[in-house]
Amino acid sequence: MRIRRILTSDIPAFHNLWTQTYSEGIYIPNAPPTQERILDVVRKVVAEKMPNFVAVSGEALLGVVEVFPGTMCGISGEDADLSGYLGIQIAAPHRRQGLGRDLMRIAIEDSARYGFKRMELDVLETNHAAIRLYESFEFQDGGSAKVKVMPNGASVMSRSMTLSLSGHGG
């Protein structure tokens, strides 16, 4: 297994991972966009060396971590791009084996290099393993919560978490 920057050639496998995770019904509230839309985003990610990484083994994509500037996530304001907004997905057979920790470590390090001052994320309150992972990296409760309707029909609270990147290099 190795971790490397995402490439446009990863799009079919990335789309498949998102589709599979979404279809589980409990981890991701949003269906994946089209592969064409993902291609537009990944081209920008590659050109600007944004902190987006994949874990691969041979041809298999095991996981992905993405950190995007606020303006790419619909956030506005003069310091919107000082925050990196994180998303992470691990293929079901590879969860709880340290892969998420490895992806988080490189995402934090590269987010500081990219110039983000902090990282932010939303996590479902039912995803206890993810919350423990984020807390182990010293993410703090961001104080806001939203109701998300999941693909399985359940309404679940999500909470925001924030990590200051001061002291993480850059």
Instruction: List per-residue pLDDT tens for the chain, 170 residues long.
Output: 999 999 999 999 999 999 999 999 999 999 999 999 999 999 999 999 999 999 999 989 999 999 999 999 988 888 889 999 999 999 999 999 999 999 999 999 999 999 999 999 999 999 999 999 999 999 999 877 899 999 999 999 999 999 999 877 55
Burial label for 5, CB within 10 Å (0-12, 13-18, 19+), is middle
CA angle 152, 157, 160 (to 5 degrees): 125
* Residue 114 counted as domain residue: yes
Contact 134, 123 (CB under 8 A): yes
Pairing of strands 2-5, 52-57: antiparallel
Q: Is the separation of the CB atoms in 69 and 81 below 8 Å?
A: yes
Q: 128 is in which domain, residue-wise?
A: 2-164
Number of domains in the chain: 1
pLDDT given for residue 142 in this prediction: 87
Taking the C-alpha atoms of residue 32 and residue 38, their distance in angstroms, rounded to an integer, is 9
Is the pTM of the predicted complex or chain greater than 0.85?
yes
Q: How many other C-beta atoms are found inside a 10 Å radius of the C-beta of residue 134?
A: 23
Class of residue 77 by CB neighbours under 10 A (exposed 0-12, middle 13-18, buried 19+): exposed
* pLDDT score for 143: 79
Tell me, yes or no, whether 106 lies in a domain: yes
Assess if residue 169 is contained within a domain: no
In whole angstroms, give the CA distance from residue 132 to residue 112.
22
- Using CA of residue 96, residue 99, residue 102, residue 103, what is the dihedral sign? negative
Residue 170 lies in a domain: no
CATH number of the domain encompassing residue 61 = 3.40.630.30
Q: Give strand ranges (E) for 19-74.
A: 52-57, 60-69
